[in-house]
Structure 1
Amino acid sequence: MDRPRTTPVTTRTSVTAALGAVLAGALTALPLLPVPSPALLPAAEAGTAGGAVVARDVVIAVENTNATPVACAPDNKSYVLHAQLVGPRDEVLSADIPRMNVLVHDLATGSWFWHLRRRPAYDYAGKLAAAGETSLVLDRLGYGDSTLPEGNATCLGAQADMLHQVVQHLRSGRYRFEGSSRATPAAQHVVVHGHSVGAAIAQVEAATFDDVDGLVLMSWTDSGASSRAVDEASRQSATCLRGEDYVKTGESRKDYRSLLFVTAPAAVQRTALARRDVDPCGDALSLSQMVTTSTLTARDVEAPVLLLFGGKDALNRDGAAEQQRQAYSSSVAVASRTLRSAGSALPLEKSAPRTRARVLGWLSQLPG
């Protein structure tokens, strides 16, 4: 598919002005480049009914470009994204994988959100692997091991574009095991799972490029942001406009916990806090454009969609779930589920087993 033309760029000042207007209104309405080759890390393995689960480090070459309708300007340079393939050994080390799940994290987290190995009961990727599913657990550019020296060099439109590049590399098998010459498997089908802003990135990617076979969108609404969400976005924007490259989500550890969690066990929250990272200011400053684009392009999503919400999510207002369900007028099928007692971080809340069961049941109905 031909890539759409990049849209005009706005300035950082106009981004901030748009942020309050858009979110407040919502309350009421390539060749693979050479990569480094450090030593291959030992695989994480666990016995399951279907055999061993393995995790292998992979690297994916991308261009930090923006060919989506999100009006923002990246630096158009080449980077390497770091990720892990987590799944049954016979799939991860095979030539082809029937279905690959790509897990896309929020502003406030990183790849660890999906693969919390220190808390196996809440390891989303690990539990999916034990059920026979293979996942790519990705650090987006500027997060975790996918380092970006200048936090204003990327933006959410570029994050969606890079996700598209990742999907294409997975389909062709043109990515690499880190430090190994072994061939990587190609994915016959790709389903993208996104959490919060990661879900918005997945949605815009699917609407723009129409190259995925399904979307699992957690804790995201185009037009139901809470006042807490608006305040947090405005705070981050103001911090970035003072000249910062990176910004934290939540002013304090307590604030961070209350944005993400309601019922997550204390041990899980402690682990999350220990992994808490900063967000690239380019992402924070392009949030209003992402909200606008996500709202306008939801009707262009044709793939089947599973929407999952927490009934006590601090970032979404009441009624947002049903409103979001109605947005996907072109999707072949839309399913929705609200876990009443959960907050935003659905894979890490006490209801995580029910979240995974709903996802696995939905995946079982898809090709692959």
Structure 2
Amino acid sequence: MRPRLVSALAGIAGLALAASPLAVPAQAAEGQPARTAAAPAGKQAGEQAGKQAGRRVGSREVAFEVSNANTTTALCSSDGEAYELRGRLVGPRRALSGASPVLRVNVLVHDAGTGAWFWNLRQAPGVDYARHLARRGETSLVLDRLGYDRSPLADGTATCLGAQASMLHQVIQHLYAGLYRFTDGGAGAGRPPHATHVVVHGHGTGATVAQLEAAEFDDVAGLVLMSAPTATPTTEALAVVTEQLGRCLGGDGYSAYGATAAEYRSLLFASASERVRRLATARRNPTPCGDVSSLLAGVGTATLTARAVEAPVLALSGARDARVRPLGQSAAESLFARSERVTARTFAGAGSALPLEARAGRVRSAVLAFLADVRPSL
């Protein structure tokens, strides 16, 4: 383990050089895309779905059997063992019962140091991303990645970002086939619904995992990226990851993201309420050291393979993000050159944690407009 961590520590500064061609100025107006995010018909469809969904929202606990094996081109190692990933389906009750003939599932992939709670912060309903999407007719899988909360991993060095992307691919395939199970109802829990198409949403390191999966396996209908590290990282972000790697050298396989709770909050937030910041800090998770040591390889591979992404892409940035510089429209189009539709938006006053920031409602509106034009890829 130690040689791998030392190598990652020595190379982490290369992230800035590798990503620097993608840097562009933040868009001038908050929430204003350089290219129309969705046609009027798409917006009308989204509004109609919201009316039909109403407030009949439900949730079910679910589990997926996966192999922690790296089958991507990102160079990193994992133990290849079988694990169970836990999550929660949140959506209209009709969709969760399997009654919907066409079912889009939004798979929500969290960052380092957070967890599934990031997308489904039920103690703060105003910024509960999954539940708000459900009220507009969307079904989401809120997933704990391996090494986080309900998906434990004893040895944090036993996985890596390539394996995380491979496990995400397995989850997506299980959703298409309906090969997963409810865990909250015993023998009478019923059969879980299968997806007709999947859109992956990723935040931070989770955006790297999502982007890598979409490029390598080509099985998603859309890709939503928030605060993606394939944009230019800031000096502060590089310093934090270097510190994480240093702690991994002599630690127990896990390392905190941010040396202190105050630093953690400063990295994620710029405009979130104090209540949201407190709730997030209380749920702060240590990062598996295998994910930390493979960050350079994961981001580098995701950047190099981005041109393989054919699905529509929505790239969202905060103008006050402490970790990455906003990804503008021209840079996003260049990065995802083969995508059928690319939209980049920057939100004034927002930090990295876009679904939890003060403009969370506008972030969700941008996502819903994008989703309204996403169709099954098959």
- Same-fold status (TM-score > 0.5): yes
| Other-structure match for 1:91 | 95
Change (3 A) 1:221 1:245: closer
Q: What pairs with 1:313-324 in structure 2 (closer than 5 Å)?
A: 313-317=321-325, 322-324=330-332
Partner of 1:260: 268
Counterpart residue number, 1:185? 193
Q: Residue by residue, what CA displacement relative to the aligned partner does 1:121-176 show, whole Å, maximum 9, x if unpaired?
A: 10000000001000000000001110000000000000000000000000000000
Match of 1:100 in 2: 105
CA-CA distance at 1:229 after TM superposition: 0.9
Q: Which whole-Å CA distance do the structure 1 matches of 2:52 and 2:310 have between them?
A: 35
Match of 2:19 in 1: 26
Alpha-carbon deviation of 1:319?
A: 6.0
Structure 1 residues without counterparts, runs of 5 or longer: 1-9, 30-46
Partner residue, 1:329: 337
1:231 and 2:239 are equivalent in the alignment: yes
Q: What runs of 5+ residues in structure 2 fail to find an aligned partner?
A: 23-50
Pick one of 48, 65, 78 that aligns with 1:61. 65
Quote how far apart the aligned CAs of 1:323 are: 2.5
**Residue equivalent to 1:136:** 141
Of residues 366, 371, 375 in structure 2, which corresponds to 1:358? 366
CA RMSD of aligned residues (A): 1.8
Runs of 4+ in 1 over 6 A off after TM superposition: none
CA distance in 2, matches of 1:327, 1:151: 31
1:157 partner letter: G
Q: Return the offset for 1:48.
A: 9.1
Counterpart amino acid of residue 172 in structure 1: A
What is the rounded CA distance, in whole Å, between the counterparts of 2:375 and 2:158 in structure 1? Answer: 38
Q: Report % sequence identity.
A: 49
Per the alignment, residue 13 of structure 1 pairs with 6
Contact residue 317 and residue 327 of structure 2 kept, 8 A:
no
TM-score of the two chains, using structure 2 as the length reference: 0.87
**Structure 2: how far apart are the matches of 1:168 and 1:274?**
33
Task: Judge conservation of contact 2:90–2:142 (CA < 8 Å) in 1.
Answer: yes
CA contact (8 A) 1:108 1:279 kept: yes
- Secondary structure of residue in 2 paired with 1:343: coil
Q: Which residue of 2 aligns with 1:114?
A: 119
- Report Cα offsets for 1:318-339 as digits up to 9, x if no partner: 6666533420001011011100
Partner of 1:209: 217
Alpha-carbon distance between aligned partners in 2 of 1:201 and 1:13, rounded to the nearest angstrom: 22
Check 1:301–1:318 CA distance in 2 against 1; reply closer, same or farther (3 A cut): closer
Q: CA deviation at 1:28?
A: 6.5
| AA in 1 matched with 2:336 | Y
Give the AA of the match of 1:128.
L
* Counterpart for residue 152 of structure 1: 157
Residue number in structure 1 paired with 2:78: 74
**Higher normalized contact order (CA 8 Å, seq sep 6+, divided by chain length):** 2
Code of the aligned partner of 1:101: N
For the structure 1 residues 238 and 23, does the alpha-carbon distance in structure 2 shift closer, same or farther, using more than 3 Å as the test?
Answer: farther
